[in-house]
Amino acid sequence: MLRIAAGDEPAFRVLARRYMPLAVRLARRVTGNNADAEEVAQEALLRVWINAPRWRPLASFRTWFYRIVVNLCLNRRRRAPFLPIEAAADAADPGADAVERIERREEQRALAQAIAALPMRQRAVIALTYHEGLSNAESAAALGTSVSAVETLLVRAKRALREKLGTMLDVGADKP
């Protein structure tokens, strides 16, 4: 970061290549669409470049970067989340039989719809804790809030997901 702060463009491009997939992945989960995710990732990396001389190494770079990405996503509320249902990724095991594959695809579709219906801050906290593997404390640092606020968001998000997914969870609970 010192090199980037000193205006070293090649160093910035190395960092951009390393952190860009993380930015796109997180922004896609929070905004719910690819176009916004690309714009957020690009803007987040440009902000790193522009503000590098002002960066203070008091927190980890990753936490700071998560915060930039999430804040940019939250500032894009005006666009509705868009998740093409037909394009929902098929997370099915290739060895599974056709019925099981269809069941899993249905589960993924229902979950995608339920997550898309969540408020953006709840989506952000789900993405940080479940998909980025952050603890509640790390998520709180990335969101610039307290641990109890993160836990409240998680409680609300999961309550909403449980209501939307209904009996699907009872079926899943039987699986090992």
Partner 1 sequence: MTMTLGRLQQLLDAKGADLSRWPAAERRAAEQAIARDPAAAAALMRARSLDRLIAAHVPPADASDARVMQALARPLPPQRQRPRWTRWPVELLDFDFAPAWPRLAALACVGVLGFLVGFTDLVVPIGSGALPADAAAAAGDADIGGVLFGPDPLPEARP
Query: Minimum CB separation from partner 1 for residue 80, in Å?
Result: 15
Q: Is 165 in the site for partner 1 (CB under 8 A)?
A: yes
From candidates 51, 75, 102, 119, binder to partner 1 by CB under 8 A: 51
DSSP 77: T
CA atoms within 13 A on the CB side of 163: 8
Helix runs in 7-135, H state only:
9-31, 34-51, 61-74, 98-116, 120-126
Choices 63-71, 72-80, 137-145, 158-166 (CB under 8 A): range interacting with partner 1: 158-166
Q: Is 56 in the site for partner 1 (CB under 8 A)?
A: yes
Residue entry with tokens 């098929």: 90
Residue 70 · residue 30 · CB < 8 Å? yes
Restricted to residues 6-35, the positions that interact with partner 1 (CB under 8 A) are 7, 9, 12-13, 16-17, 20-21, 23-24, 28-29, 32, 34
Task: Using alpha carbons, select from 117, 118, 176, 122 the residue that is nearest to residue 152.
Answer: 122
Q: What is the Cα–Cα distance from 160 to 111, expressed in whole angstroms?
A: 11
Query: Minimum CB separation from partner 1 for residue 118, in Å?
Result: 11
User: Of 84 and 94, which has the nearer Cβ to partner 1?
Assistant: 84
From candidates 62, 63, 107, 113, binder to partner 1 by CB under 8 A: 107
